[in-house]
A = this chain, B = another copy of it.
Amino acid sequence: MKMSFDFQSRENLSLFTDFYELTMCASYFDNGKFEPATFDLFIRRLPPNRSYFLFAGLEQVLLYLESVHFTGEHIEYLRKQGFAEDFLGYLRDFKFTGDVWAVPEGTVCFPNEPLIRVTAPIIEAQLVETFLLNTVNLQTMMASKASRVVQAAKGKTVIEFGLRREQGIDAGMKVARSSFIAGCQGTSNVLADMAYGIPVFGTMAHSFIMSYKREIDAFRAFTKTFPTKSTLLIDTYDDMAGAEKAAVVAKELERKGFRLGGVRLDSGNLAEISKKVRALLDAKGLDYVPIFASGDLDEYKITELLDEGAKIDAFGVGTKMGTSVDYPYTDVIYKLCETSDGDGSFSPIMKLSENKLTLPGRKQVYRFTDNQGLYFKDVIALDSEPAMGGDPMLKKVMANGKICCELPALNEIRAAASKNLASLPQNYRKLVDAPQYPVTLTPTLNELIAQLKKKITEEEILNGIN
């Protein structure tokens, strides 16, 4: 049931790529470079006010890698772009045949930690770069943002409501998925339920109210259709007048043996209005009617509302979460860290551009947990170093181009994320001014970096012209 609604059309996405991936691969091909290489996918830095990432998007990455190929139509298009026939012949039979190691979806992670490690013939590893970055960027950014909103709500329900202003169709689907992983209870996006089985919520908009001569007529019409699950939107004209009318209709429902499902506020001073509406409902014996709030919410606004004692039972959080408004991307990159000379041995590789240094060699990340099960540090090591205690974070998920792990169900990923977030000490989860979680490099890795810096400086900068 999953893939057909996922907008990850299996045959089309091979060209969903930056053109330079193809020109580089054409030149690798032309120069006979078919040796394996290793690329790390990682995030360079945390956005301001973020203290961790929640990794998501691996399932889509693996399904893509297992299926990416070029159709006759693609080849025809590339021929017109001037690519050589022998390279087109290679692409016609292209399959991804590499090995992939990755941290599981729902993992709490930090800058510079390899999240996905791809070892494959360099043409294959290069060609898949753009899709991997695009997918991990979107879902990891969104899961990270949503986890902050869920945390701010302190156990109250959060529903993802941003579909109309999320950045396109795929974003609409993946925001629902990744915010559910992060702890949201559901989404407004119907197709996300159909595709991923995410609980779907929603009742009425202002237009429904306005389509009736009187607000109370709209309330009556809607509860007639949905007597057991109506949430009435009460701010179309005036919150308190709307609440009065909702109370009348709730009492009418009671006489028919039903209960009003809730009222929703979508504008104005939500803390103040929610208290007045709560008082009004309680005074009429409607203390069972929950108050649902929406409208420009994010983790900061929710914190503020709860601090002010807002009487809100559930939050519908839209645009600001669904676009990760304060930082609508992650600094995710995909960097070559080792090449092979074709004799089976690998050489570690490093980039030295200003402020853009990368970590050389094939690596593993070890996470250390205290005796209460709380994370206290991560160490990035060369994969060749002996295990050092701590849990190795990267697991093998693909062997020779085939998925070699169980793809967990979405609910399992969500449960793992919840457990992982709870294992990150509260201090590191603060919504503002959280301290930096310690991530260090092993002495061996530091030594390799120093050696490569020296080598590059000598060979490329001082003496690399001829």
Q: Mark A322-337, 1 if CB is under 8 A from B, else 0.
A: 0111001110101110
> Are A191 and B267 interface neighbours, CB within 8 A?
no
Interfacial chain B residues near A18, Cβ < 8 Å: 161, 163-164, 188-190, 202
Interfacial chain B residues near A335, Cβ < 8 Å: 206-207
Which chain B residue has the least Cβ–Cβ distance from A327? B325
> Are A201 and B28 interface neighbours, CB within 8 A?
no
Q: Which of A59-74 contact B (CB under 8 A)?
A: 74
Interfacial chain B residues near A170, Cβ < 8 Å: 7, 167-171
Which chain B residue has the least Cβ–Cβ distance from A322? B329
Which chain B residue has the least Cβ–Cβ distance from A29? B225
Known: A207-B336, A335-B206, A460-B241. A171 touches B165 (CB 8 A): no
Interface-lining segment among A302-310, A349-357, A387-395, A420-428: A349-357
Q: Which of A80-95 contact B (CB under 8 A)?
A: 81
> Are A17 and B191 interface neighbours, CB within 8 A?
yes
**How far does the alpha carbon of A325 sit from the alpha carbon of B236 in the complex, in Å?**
32
How far, in Å, is A330 (CB) from chain B's closest CB? Answer: 7
Interfacial chain B residues near A244, Cβ < 8 Å: 465
**How far does the alpha carbon of A207 sit from the alpha carbon of B4 in the complex, in Å?**
34
Interfacial chain B residues near A460, Cβ < 8 Å: 214-215, 237-238, 241
Known: A238-B461, A325-B328, A460-B238. A167 touches B138 (CB 8 A): yes
Known: A7-B169, A30-B224, A170-B7. A352 touches B236 (CB 8 A): yes
Which chain B residue has the least Cβ–Cβ distance from A347? B213
Interfacial chain B residues near A441, Cβ < 8 Å: none
> Contact partner of A266 among B4, B191, B224, B353, CB < 8 A?
B353
Q: Which of A1-48 contact B (CB under 8 A)?
A: 4-5, 7-9, 12-13, 15-24, 26-28, 30-31, 33, 37, 39
> Are B336 and A329 interface neighbours, CB within 8 A?
no
**How far does the alpha carbon of A33 sit from the alpha carbon of B222 in the complex, in Å?**
12
> Are A24 and B137 interface neighbours, CB within 8 A?
no
* Of listed A27, A122, A355, residue having the most chain B CB within 10 A: A27
Known: A207-B39, A238-B460. A167 touches B164 (CB 8 A): no
Query: Is A119 an interface residue when CB atoms closer than 8 A count as contact?
Result: no
Query: Is A282 an interface residue when CB atoms closer than 8 A count as contact?
Result: no
> Are B168 and A464 interface neighbours, CB within 8 A?
no
How far, in Å, is A348 (CB) from chain B's closest CB? Answer: 10
**How far does the alpha carbon of A161 sit from the alpha carbon of B134 in the complex, in Å?**
12
Query: Is A203 an interface residue when CB atoms closer than 8 A count as contact?
Result: yes
How far, in Å, is A163 (CB) from chain B's closest CB? Answer: 6
**How far does the alpha carbon of A318 sit from the alpha carbon of B434 in the complex, in Å?**
29
Query: Is A221 an interface residue when CB atoms closer than 8 A count as contact?
Result: yes
> Are A168 and B165 interface neighbours, CB within 8 A?
no
> Are B24 and A208 interface neighbours, CB within 8 A?
yes
Query: Is A174 an interface residue when CB atoms closer than 8 A count as contact?
Result: yes
What would 19 A/B residue contacts be, using CB atoms closer than 8 Å?
A16-B189, A17-B163, A18-B161, A21-B205, A23-B204, A24-B204, A24-B222, A27-B222, A33-B211, A122-B211, A129-B164, A134-B169, A138-B168, A167-B168, A171-B171, A211-B349, A238-B352, A267-B356, A319-B329
- What are the 8 tightest A-B residue pairs by CB atom distance, in nearest-first order? A168-B170, A20-B202, A19-B202, A167-B167, A133-B164, A27-B225, A169-B170, A328-B328
